[in-house]
Amino acid sequence: MFIVLLVLGVVVGAAYAYREIVVKGTQFTGKAKLHGKTVIVTGSNTGIGKTTAIDLAKRGARVILACRSKQRGVAALADVKKESGSNQVVFMQLDLGNLKSVRSFAETFLTSEPRLDILINNAGVYMHGRTKDGLGLMFGVNHIGHFLLTNLLLDRLKECKPSRVVIVSSVAHNFGRINFECLSKHKTLGLGSSLLDNLQIYSDSKLCNVLFTYELAKRLQGTQVTCYCLHPGAINSELARNASSLMQILLKPITTFFFKNTVQGCQTTLHCTLQEGIEPFSGRYFSNCTVRNLYSKATDDGAAKKLWKISERMCGLG
């Protein structure tokens, strides 16, 4: 009995230590203020996007909540204003799965807002399907929508230099691959719809984020606009809200104990957004508030350029 209790104690202690040291991660402690600055945060009606928006609003930024659902966006607007104590928060509707909506958002923003200092491409989906334009849903929302949005807003970012683009990717990019033949023929990263297929396609879309950041940094050299991508950690958020009920029930104990909450999960986003002196790391990938090395497939010049060209063509920029 003593041995059983001892083993149980060791397991519980190890789990607690893991949670305190690994799960919680590094906290961004910078005191930067953003009075007079304007920030867009996509997908900021929930999860780490919302928590990021609250933090930036507390620092004095004018924060644009760019969200698909008007109902959820308006509700988030009230929450962010209340929790930050700031009235410099605005909701603008943006559906990244609809290229017409992306263009409309950009036009509205550029007409109504004189500044853009920081663009945070935070929104993401984990769900099988197609976008309004017939693209694979995860490819279309996680990459193409943000690709178009970023390009439409680049001139304003350059006018407000020094400025930054921050792209929320995932460690899942390590398992990603880009099937350019499938993209060209079917406008999607993969054709399957099983659990494993969806995990693969999600990973592929996150690799697109990293390659986009890598290529974007090269194209922005000399403009004083820098860009960074990041892994926020495993987050107990609503990303898997479209998963089956059984899957959500099975994941609940794991996500509750071993995943970051949204405050812990937005720390690397804040680091890439606010940390002074990281300009030489433009185009790089961060995790736990630290720049990380990447596998060669995530810094493949040929793949990055090819992805850029096909992305231009798919969203009508080419």
SS3 category, 183: helix
Structure tokens at 190: 């993969």
Cβ–Cβ < 8 Å for 88, 106:
no
Q: In sequence order, which residues have a C-beta less than 8 Å from that of residue 126 and are 6 or more positions away?
A: 138, 198, 202, 239, 240, 242, 243
16, 18, 202, 295: which one is catalytic?
A: 202
Residue 186's nearest CA partner among 136, 139, 126 is 136
Helix runs in the chain, H state only: 2-18, 47-58, 70-84, 99-112, 137-139, 146-159, 180-186, 195-219, 245-258, 262-265, 267-274, 301-314
Distance CA 68, CA 89 (A): 16
Q: Is 18 labeled as catalytic in the residue annotation?
A: no
- Pair 137, 174: CB distance under 8 Å: no
In this structure, are residues 149 and 102 in contact, taking their beta carbons and an 8 Å threshold? yes
Q: Which of 166, 222, 205 is nearest to 41 (CA)?
A: 166
The residues facing 130 across adjacent strands are 136
- Whether residue 162 is preceded by a cis peptide bond, meaning omega within 30 degrees of 0, is yes
Closest to 307 (Cα-Cα) out of 204, 191, 203: 204
Catalytic machinery residues:
202
